[in-house]
Amino acid sequence: MFDWLIVGAGFAGSVLAERLASQRGERVLVIDKRPHIGGNAYDRYDDSGILIHQYGPHIFHTNSEQIFDYLSRFTHWRPYEHRVLAEVDGMLAPIPINLDTVNKLFKLDLDSDGLAAWFAERAEPRAEIRTSEDVVVSAVGRDLYEKFFKGYTTKQWGVDPSQLDKSVTARVPTRTNRDDRYFTDAYQYMPEHGYTRLFERMLTHPNIKVMLQTDFEEARQEVAYRRLIYSGPIDEYFNFCYGKLPYRSLHFRHETLDRKWLQPVAVVNYPQTQAYTRITEYKHLTGQRHEKTSVTYEYPSDVGDPYYPVPRAENMELYKKYEKLALSEPDVWFVGRLATYRYYNMDQVVGQALSTFRRICQDVPVDRSARVRTQVAAE
Ligand code: FAD
Ligand code: UDP
């Protein structure tokens, strides 16, 4: 009998497995329907020996010392500040839009105050900022919105930015200085030996067993367990009883090229042309040295594995109905990007899992045999 069955070996499931096993001495079975741990953060060496991210570029960044310290138990880090270029009007320009972006695209020589005035002349005031279009148009005006955001967002999400919650494009700021970093968080690093190694360290514990290529449907019939942590899609757990929650998918095309480098930075976005949204070149992220280079093209799609919850009011309404069911499901905890239908970064999922663990500690007494196991492990 397992104390816990955990569905999903991504950040949500793995953090909880590690905490429950090491801090409460409980026996945990982690299952995943994929043939590997790590969820969407999984990385691997490809046929040429280059470390790539199977599910697109994953860059770790957080402002939380607590989350950074927690993950530092399982990895050393490589400092890395992410920079992105967008191909616009045939040029490569930095995004987030900043002073250099505007000066380069429009052949100007503005300073920060000049750029603030330039934006102010073009920005379209909005009484209320509700949508992903409002966020950008009200900050930089329609021209830059159309160049950088309209095409990319429509391609990525399959709907016009005016149909998406403001939180989507608000992830990308606008700056009047020359800071071209994609993130400004206090901690910006890549795991020194990759994410999969981090997950291996997290899940290597005598109280944790991992079963891959195992679907929840199969495990729930065949495994005896007391409590459940579920990090798959919440609508699937409830058999789509209120209908399907939309998740956006991607198709990844991985390639190794017989040249040292393809592009000047790790990620180049394509807001105006191409069926893919962006190309990622991994050696920039990992610091790996290799004569060849490996890249990934991301093609957005409605069908395929669920990767992104789609932030729109009507979807949140549907999610809230499922959440209500989830709250009354005894001995089950829903955690992670798919189970709580939130467009969360890795650090936010780790934070959510750690706070779920604290809630479990308050609400669920450790059973006596587990307490004995914790004492034995400590001795
Ligand atoms: P997941 O990693 O999705 O793990 C859930 C696991 O559950 C999966 O492995 C799945 O196979 C398994 N599962 C689902 N249903 C079942 C079932 N019925 N039975 C068995 N197993 C099941 N975050 C960042 O911080 N920085 C980034 O740069 C970044 N880039 C991203 C790029 C892309 C293309 C994507 C898609 C996401 C990115 N993220 C990034 C977000 C990051 O991937 C997530 O925040 C994080 O991986 C979510 O962890 P999770 O455990 O909630 O979900
Ligand atoms: N976005 C855009 N153009 C860009 C970069 C981002 O329109 O060049 C929009 C797009 O809608 C995207 C969102 O901003 O989905 C958030 O971007 P982010 O880079 O955070 O996306 P993620 O890495 O999560 O896919």
* CATH number of the domain enclosing 222: 3.40.50.720
Centre of ligand 2 to C-alpha 172, Å, is: 7
- The answer to whether residue 30 scores a pLDDT higher than 80 is yes
Q: Are residues 17 and 157 in the same domain?
A: no
- pLDDT for residue 90: 97
Residue 271 lies in a domain: no
Residue nearest to atom 14 of ligand 2 (CA): 169
- pLDDT for residue 369: 72
Which of residues 140, 170, 200 is at a domain's end?
170
Q: Are residues 116 and 28 in the same domain?
A: no
Task: Say yes or no: CB of residue 172 within 6 Å of ligand 2.
Answer: yes
Residue 80 lies in a domain: no
Q: Are residues 10 and 152 in the same domain?
A: no
Residue 63 lies in a domain: no
Q: Are residues 213 and 124 in the same domain?
A: no
Q: Are residues 150 and 227 in the same domain?
A: no
Q: Are residues 240 and 317 in the same domain?
A: yes
- The answer to whether residue 165 scores a pLDDT higher than 80 is yes
C-beta of residue 296 within 8 angstroms of C-beta of residue 253: yes
What pTM value is reported for the model? 0.97
Residue 238 lies in a domain: yes
Q: Are residues 18 and 148 in the same domain?
A: no
Centre of ligand 1 to C-alpha 247, Å, is: 12
Residue 213 lies in a domain: yes
Domain count, the chain: 2
- pLDDT for residue 370: 65
Relative to the alpha carbon of 269, which ligand is closest? 2
Give the strands of the sheet with 208-211, arranged side by side.
Answer: 208-211, 28-31, 2-7, 225-230, 332-334
Residue 86 lies in a domain: no
Residue 277 lies in a domain: no
Q: Are residues 99 and 166 in the same domain?
A: yes
Task: Say yes or no: CB of residue 152 within 6 Å of ligand 2.
Answer: yes
Q: Are residues 226 and 344 in the same domain?
A: yes
Q: Are residues 206 and 353 in the same domain?
A: yes
Band of residue 11 on the pLDDT scale cut at 50, 70, 90:
very high
Band of residue 367 on the pLDDT scale cut at 50, 70, 90:
confident
Residue nearest to atom 14 of ligand 1 (CA): 232
Q: Are residues 320 and 241 in the same domain?
A: yes
C-beta of residue 40 within 8 angstroms of C-beta of residue 152: no
- pLDDT for residue 16: 98
- The answer to whether residue 53 scores a pLDDT higher than 80 is yes
Q: Are residues 316 and 221 in the same domain?
A: yes
Which range of residues forms the domain containing residue 231? 2-40+192-245+309-378
Task: Say yes or no: CB of residue 59 within 6 Å of ligand 1.
Answer: yes
Tens digit of each residue's pLDDT (9 = 90 or more) over 189-227: 999 999 999 999 999 999 999 999 999 999 999 999 999
Residue 76 lies in a domain: no
Return the ligand 1 atom nearest residue 41 CA. 47
Which of the listed residues 346, 354, 356, 357 should we mutate to test ligand 1's pocket, taking the one with most ligand atoms within 8 A of CB? 346
Which of residues 170, 202, 222 is at a domain's end?
170
Which of residues 110, 139, 170 is at a domain's end?
170
- The answer to whether residue 87 scores a pLDDT higher than 80 is yes
